[in-house]
Amino acid sequence: MDNVQSMIQELEQEAISVRRLLKLVPSDHLDWRPHQKSMSLGQLGLHVASIPGGVSNLLLTDGFDGSKANFTVAQPKSTDEILTSLETGLSRAKQVLGDLDAQKAVSPWRLSKGDQEIFTIPRIGVARTIMLNHWYHHRGQLTVYLRLLDVLLPVTYGRSADTNPFA
């Protein structure tokens, strides 16, 4: 199995726990935030949902200038809006990754801030680092938000304090 197919398989596998978690985001707490500098629960949920699709669109470019970006996440109106964003993004990510041939996968992709280069890595590295690893980071952040709201947490890997598939 090549790197791209392995990444698609990982995306599909991890989507199971992301979907399970996003379904638990309470629509009546979307404006809640643990700190004034934090994203709201709804913004974080939407960010988690949109990472695969948004980052896969970056793979279609030769780079990204962060100085031109708006990093403010929209405030969703419902949990259903978050879940729809996830499904749309997953579909897009699988399509973009599936169309990535071996030559394009290793071609350079550049992150910059104006004329300043932050880094240049192969496109497949962008998929790994910015799509998947970034996704996992914010999924973990979302579990903390939900725990603070006393939402029972599902299994991600193994058991959680609330769910034990081995019992």
Domain edges within the chain: 3-148
Average pLDDT per 10 consecutive residues for the chain, totaling 167 residues: 87 96 98 97 98 94 92 94 98 95 93 95 94 96 97 90 85
> Residue written as tokens 């709804």?
42
User: From CA 57, how far away is CA 83, in angstroms rounded?
Assistant: 19
How much is the pLDDT for 13?
96
How many beta carbons lie within 10 A of that of residue 75, not counting itself?
Answer: 14
Q: Would you say the C-alpha torsion 133, 154, 93, 26 has a positive or negative sign? A: negative
Kindly report whether the global pTM for this prediction surpasses the value 0.75: yes
How much is the pLDDT for 27?
97
CB 82, CB 120: distance < 8 Å: no
Closest alpha carbon to 132 in 59, 52, 18, 31: 52
User: From CA 111, how far away is CA 116, in angstroms rounded?
Assistant: 9
CATH of region 3-148: 1.20.120.450
How much is the pLDDT for 1?
53
User: From CA 107, how far away is CA 125, in angstroms rounded?
Assistant: 10
Contacts of 58 (CB under 8 A, 6+ apart): 64, 109, 126, 130
